[in-house]
A = this chain, B = another copy of it.
Amino acid sequence: MSAGHTAVTTPGASAGEPVISCETPQDECGVRDVLDRLGDKWSVYVVVELASGVLRFKELQRRIHGGISQRMLTLTVRRLERDGLVKRTVYPTIPPQVEYELTEMGHSLTHLVKSLADWSIAHRPAIAEAREAYDARPAEDVRT
């Protein structure tokens, strides 16, 4: 609670009262920070996989189903490590062995990821429906 101010009221009401307000609107109360971290293609996958325990590089790569390349996995874990969300441990053995695990802060992020997942699952049908309705309309259907 040091930077920026955030306030909410019940969002069920259509509009009128402020739901989110920031003293520094430029950086959106800092939401942008998290989004930049989670918005890329692979970070969330890595966090989710590491949520259940320590993993080595190759094992981590195998578990990510989309088929992440070595390069992208390296970039992703490096970013997460730099932000203090992932701890990287190198054992100078032959062959080399590197282990990755979430830090405390990284684990706290899994809460957010779960919230996102829950919201997504809950609203997926509604979103799919909205998309179909939108895509199916005659293109001049933009009146009130």
Q: Which residues of A contact B (CB under 8 A)?
A: 1-4, 6, 8, 11-22, 25-26, 28-35, 38-40, 44-45, 48, 51-54, 63, 65-66, 81-84, 88-92, 101-102, 104-105, 107-127, 129-131, 133-135, 142-144
How many angstroms from the CA of A66 to the CA of B84 in the assembled complex? 27
Could you tell me the distance between the alpha carbons of A118 and B54 in the complex, rounded to whole angstroms?
27
Interface majority SS (helix, strand, loop, mixed), chain A: helix
Partner of A83 from the list B17, B112, B131 (CB cut-off 8 Å) is B131
Q: Check B124–A31 contact: CB distance below 8 A.
A: no
Whether A11 and B84, one on each chain, are in contact in the complex, defined by CB atoms closer than 8 angstroms, is: no
Question: Contact partner of A51 among B11, B32, B66, B102, CB < 8 A?
Answer: B11
Residues of chain B within 8 A of A130, CB atoms compared: 82-84, 105
30 contacts between A and B (CB under 8 A): A1-B121, A4-B121, A6-B117, A6-B118, A11-B51, A11-B107, A11-B111, A12-B104, A12-B107, A15-B52, A15-B53, A18-B51, A19-B110, A20-B52, A26-B66, A28-B117, A30-B120, A31-B44, A34-B120, A35-B44, A38-B39, A81-B134, A82-B134, A84-B131, A89-B144, A90-B144, A91-B144, A105-B123, A105-B126, A115-B115
